[in-house]
Chains A and B, each alone.
Chain A
Amino acid sequence: MDFFNESHVRAAKELLYKMADDQLIIGHRNSEWTGLGPILEEDIAFSSMAQDKIGQSEHLYALLHELGESDPDTVAFTRNAHQFHCCQLVEYPIGEYDFSLMRHFFFDMAELIRFDMLRNSSYEGLANIAKKYKGEIKYHSMHANTWVQQLGKGNEESNGRLQLQLDTYWNHALGIFEPGPHENILIDAGIFEGEAALQKNWLEAVIPLLEKADLQVPDTSKWSPVYGGRTGIHTAYLQPLLDEMTEVYSIDPSADW
């Protein structure tokens, strides 16, 4: 896109950073299931999707590089937790599979809708990414929803465990849609329709699916989005994740892989 002015570049960078950081962190988190998944087939599928996420983040970091930020490896591997813009939902340890699945459902439904909205972005580089990964993300959300339907309608234990995760992390899921400082610029320039529109679309998609799976969405009076991640306020879980993720890179940052 030919940006009209500096404010558009700033707004686009903010959007790219949060998207890329979300994908990198959830990709790393979900990769922690590799070798430990419930059955071989699921282990392979979950690991493969985790790799997809990291690949998507690399592409977004490459766009940031075009806009003047450092190269993708430097951006991904040399920042501290407070410099990350991921939402807090993606930072939490993988826990048990019920949590990882519920997070996978919350996050990938949001990503499916975000990328669908970005297909018409005036920022061509971003629109191209949205089109390129459409199939990947469609599979990720299909995988998440199939599991949620299975366990939601499974038995008392499987439904109860999902319901508990839903109740515990619903407000963290709403934190995905923390508005940024440049929402109106993004909307006016046709770059992105904004977090509020995304949240509305997400709720319209997610609530019927959860109800279909015999799961209850918390009463709106209890909704209280967990914000902070987008501005660098994170849980204590993020820095140890970064330390582990960058351990090899840090040994020799100049190494050519």
Chain B
Amino acid sequence: MENMHKSLDPRITRANLDLEEQIDPLNELDQFQTYEVFHQKKRGQQHVHVGIVHAPNADMALLYAKEQYARRGVTSNLWVVPSSCVTATEYFDEDIFATTAEKIYRDPATYKVMDRIQAFKERQAQKS
């Protein structure tokens, strides 16, 4: 009885755990599959990926997605998609995303158009 675990948590004490007892580790892969969760704040907006849940099927995945990812804040809709349905690039190929320095013309931030927008707005203002 000296080995009985006395805890501040009464649930643990109730469990009468014997600390000397060997605890069998879980079998590997003793897990449900994962579902990717997509969260939509308001109708019409994009669903945004927020994380995963473990679940045996889509119905249960939706139940869990609601509590894990929609408990706080505003939610209008959730999607769950089996992670196995996702096709992804290889990290090995990450270099395909590298962009070279001289291609900055593809970056809209480098367009110098504010003066032309300003001039357009002034013309519109004069017309009205």
Cβ contact within 8 Å between B64 and A41: yes
Residue of B nearest to A31 (CB): B11
Interface: B10 (CB within 8 A): yes
**In terms of DSSP, what is the predominant structure of the interface of chain B?**
helix
Contact A244 B63 (CB under 8 A): no
Decide: A48 and B11 in contact? CB cutoff 8 A.
no
Q: Would B63 and A45 count as touching, CB distance under 8 A?
A: yes
In the bound complex, what is the Cα–Cα distance between A123 and B50 (angstroms)?
42
CB of A142 within 8 A of chain B? yes
Question: Given known contacts A48-B67, A143-B63, is B53 in contact with A41 (CB within 8 Å)?
Answer: yes
Whether the Cβ atoms of A150 and B71 lie closer than 8 Å is no
B32 to A: closest C-beta gap in Å: 7
Q: Can you name the residue of chain B whose Cβ is closest to the Cβ of A149?
A: B59
Give the size category of B's interface with A.
Answer: 10 to 19
State which residues 31-48 of B face A: CB under 8 Å.
32
Flag if A39 contacts B54 (CB, 8 Å): yes
Would A41 and B10 be within 8 Å (CB), given that A143-B63, A146-B63 are in contact? no
Q: Which residues of A contact B55 (CB under 8 A)?
A: 41
Q: B32: which A residues are within 8 A, CB to CB?
A: 39
User: Which residues in A have their C-beta under 8 angstroms from that of B66?
Assistant: 45, 139
Instruction: Decide if A41 touches B67 in the complex (CB within 8 Å).
Output: yes
Assess the A142–B63 pair: CB atoms within 8 A: yes
Q: How many A-B residue pairs have CB under 8 A?
A: 35
A130-B63 Cα distance, complex, nearest whole Å: 22
B15 (CB) vs chain A CBs: closest residue: A36
Number of interface residues of A (CB under 8 A): 17
B11 touches A45 (CB 8 A): no
Whether the pair B54, A41 counts as a contact (CB closer than 8 A) is yes
- Is there an interface contact between B56 and A45, defined as CB atoms closer than 8 Å? no
A207 part of interface (Cβ distance < 8 Å): no
When distances are taken between beta carbons in the complex, the residues of chain A under 8 Å from B76 are: none
Q: What is the minimal beta-carbon distance from B49 to any residue of chain A, in angstroms?
A: 17
Chain B residue contacts of A40, Cβ below 8 A: 54
A44 within 8 A of B: yes
- A-contact bits for B6-32, CB 8 A (1 contact / 0 none): 000011000000000000000000001
Interface CB pairs A-B, < 8 A, 25: A32-B11, A36-B11, A39-B32, A39-B54, A40-B54, A41-B54, A41-B55, A41-B67, A44-B64, A44-B67, A44-B68, A45-B63, A45-B64, A45-B66, A45-B67, A45-B68, A48-B67, A142-B63, A146-B59, A146-B63, A149-B59, A150-B56, A150-B57, A150-B59, A244-B10
Chain A residues in the interface with B (C-beta under 8 A)? 32, 35-36, 39-42, 44-45, 48, 139, 142-143, 146, 149-150, 244
Complex A-B, nearest 6 residue pairs according to Cβ-Cβ distance, in ascending order: A41-B64, A45-B67, A41-B53, A48-B67, A146-B59, A44-B67
